[in-house]
A and B are shown apart, each in its own frame.
Chain A
Amino acid sequence: MADPTVIVDNLHVVYRVYGAGGDKGTAATALMRVLKRQRRPSVRKVEAIRGVSFVVYHGDAVGIIGRNGSGKSTLLQAIAGLLPPERGCVYTSGQATLLGVNAALLDDLTGERNVVLGCLAMGMTPQEVKERYQSIVDFSGVGTFIDYPMRTYSTGMAQRLRFSIASAKDHEILMIDEALATGDANFRAKSEERIQQLRDAAGTVFLVAHNLAEVEASCNRVIWLEKGKIVMQGYDVPAIVDSYLAATGGEPLQRDKQ
């Protein structure tokens, strides 16, 4: 068996959410709370991941499936070291990189500055940024809009530019959050091709997707999360996908018999 690249050992991740309900939210109620020495009821703990363990080996492409709010994105953020574990630990063979559309870019700045800043944030040197700049802009296809502030971009254009920036680098452990395959059909084809290249270059890939056909097509292994726990996981991807669909009441996948 190949070497392990990611080991998740009894991982627990807890979010603290401020401003959740349960309070009228007026100054008077806040004062009463202080006087009565109560804790802020609006601070709530959300246990997003509750005891997850698995081992991923070099060459694995792991699909993570589950309903909205089941902890998929949180799991990826914890593996990348962006969210600290409450208990347990994640061990990785190198820096795990998360390709998400939320990578903060500054809306008031031109596309050009955003490209440079995004690349620097990923750890490129100014020289590397200069070398790759043109290919990033060309790939995004935003054209002359690159000189305009990003707040003037359409949603699709902004997502295309973000994806182009995020995918400009090869990563050892690559994690792709859904919603990446955005944009028009033409760009989707281009980005799927780019993801494939990144996968070939990376040792290990994680993919979060609601599109189960995509998971089956590109993953050799799947993890099904529900309420922060693993329901099923393993290398028999179609069987797990079928159980998932049966449990959530979805339509069974139409598979081509070959």
Chain B
Amino acid sequence: MRQRARDHGAPGTLTDDLSLPETDQASLPAEPLAELAARYQLAPSAARPGAFAYARRLWDRRHFIVGFATARNVAMYTEARLGQLWQVLTPLLNAAVYFLIFGIILGTSRGVPNFTAFLITGIFIFNFTQRAFITTSRVMPDSLQLIRALPFPRASLPIGYVLIELEQLVMSMIVLTVIVLATGEPLTWYWLLALPALGLQAVFNVGMGLFLARLGAGAEDFSQLMPFLVRTWMYASGVMFSIQTIASLRRHPAVTYLLQVNPAAVYISLVRNAILQSQRRAWPGTKPYNAARCALYYHDSRAVYDSAYCHATVSMPQLWLYGAGWAVVALVVGFLFFWEAETRYGRG
């Protein structure tokens, strides 16, 4: 058998045509190789474990996932002179910019009590999901070297990236606590509700992160598009305004409802209602319905708490149900979707 062989830059004097001897197949056993493998109980090296076995393997590598997340977090700021201080400065600067634009210049604070705390809470909570979505949609192409070097459950990577964002969120929450208390909100037992709310949001982010990681593994186009999708989502989720106050939505309760039960709005509302007494008091449905006072809310910008007399679009217990529902659905769908392509991520 003669083959054409092109010079790939190997050392030595290579001729363009290699004169090759006959291929040696004689040393193969007589029986089909698949049967031989079965007889000696050899398993395919690129086999995908079952969903439950896969989850167990992930659990076995939990130390790697946490170590990977912590290490990436530390590495992120080593080139900056202020170092880890940026973990706090970044959310602070973000809050300052949005407050300048939406609070002072555009004046969207209309109809929202304690707008500063409302806005900054919304930004910090949305930022967690936003960053998780953008980074996980890039994680597979970015980690191709690692994927081709070491065997480990690939879901470790998107989960690790969400953990990185969770660690950043912890820093943000410390900053947020200081800001919220400084704006005059009292520290109450309700604050503890922020923990399960953030927990559900983290589960949602992990599930969506797994989903997006697989989409992003196929085509770079997707991760290019992601920042725009997420920004559009932010403007629809009541981050810098109250969905309740949009006058044009008053005649479209279905649209208001859909906006309020979208996952980002749900987790933002849950945290706001936990740490902001002003938000709890203004939440529609917390006072008995009173048509006159509800109407006042829409016409008098000083009656910011009168929204409590309107009908609730989504009640607080319903918010928790939606929060839990989104988290479970995202996790199950995302996990199965990612797991299904487990053996193919090395291909790039």
A117 and B152 alpha carbons, distance in the complex (Å): 13
Taking CB atoms and an 8 Å cut-off, the chain A residues in 8-30 that contact chain B are 8-10, 14-16, 18
Q: Does B145 contact A (CB under 8 A)?
A: yes
Which of A80, A85, A116, A226 is close to B67, meaning CB atoms less than 8 Å apart?
A116
Nearest residue in B to A229 (C-beta to C-beta)?
A: B23
A89:B44 contact, CB within 8 angstroms: yes
- B12–A249 touching, CB < 8 Å: yes
Cβ A53 vs Cβ B33 within 8 A? yes
Instruction: Give Cα distance in the complex from A77 to B346, angstroms.
Output: 9
Mostly helix, strand, loop or mixed at chain A's interface? Answer: mixed
Which partner residue on chain B sits nearest A3 by CB separation? B40
Whether the pair A68, B44 counts as a contact (CB closer than 8 A) is: no
Instruction: Report the separation of the CA atoms of residues A82 and B143 in the bound assembly, to the nearest whole angstrom.
Output: 13
Of the listed residues A6, A70, A77, A121, the one surrounded by the most CB atoms of chain B closer than 10 A to its CB is A121
Determine how close the nearest CB of chain A comes to the CB of B74; give it in whole angstroms: 6
Within 8 Å by CB of B21, from A80, A97, A126, A232, lies: A232
Which of B58-66, B103-111, B293-301, B327-335 is the contact stretch? B58-66
Tell me the smallest distance from the CB of A111 to a CB of chain B, in Å. Answer: 12
Which residues of chain B from 1 to 50 have a CB within 8 Å of any chain A CB?
3, 5, 8-15, 18-21, 23-25, 27-29, 33-34, 36-37, 40-47
Taking CB atoms, residues of chain B closer than 8 Å to A3 are 40
Does residue A92 face the partner (Cβ distance < 8 Å to B)? Answer: yes
Instruction: Please report the C-alpha to C-alpha distance between residue A95 and residue B57 in the assembled complex, in whole angstroms.
Output: 14
B40 touches A15 (CB 8 A): no
Q: Are B346 and A102 in contact (CB under 8 A)?
A: no
In the complex, the answer to whether B46 meets A84 with C-beta atoms within 8 Å is yes
**What is the minimal beta-carbon distance from A27 to any residue of chain B, in angstroms?**
13
Measured between alpha carbons, how far is A69 from B10 in the docked complex, in Å?
8
Asked whether any CB of chain B lies closer than 8 Å to the CB of A247, the reply is yes
B232 is an interface residue with CB less than 8 A from chain A: no
Within 8 Å CB of A100, what residues of B? 149
- Does B75 make an interface contact (CB < 8 A)? yes
Q: Which of B23, B43, B64, B74 contacts A231 (CB 8 A)?
A: B23
B60 neighbours in A (Cβ, 8 Å): 123
Q: Establish whether residues A109 and B75, one from each chain, have CB atoms under 8 Å apart when the complex forms.
A: yes
Contact with A along B54-83 (1 / 0, CB 8 A): 000000110110011001101110110000
Which residues from chain B sit less than 8 Å from chain A, CB to CB?
A: 3, 5, 8-15, 18-21, 23-25, 27-29, 33-34, 36-37, 40-47, 60-61, 63-64, 67-68, 71-72, 74-76, 78-79, 143, 145-152, 220, 343-344, 346-348
Known contacts A231-B24, A234-B27, then 10 further A-B pairs from the complex at CB < 8 Å, ordered by chain A residue = A4-B36, A81-B46, A82-B148, A82-B346, A83-B46, A84-B344, A90-B46, A92-B42, A108-B79, A229-B3
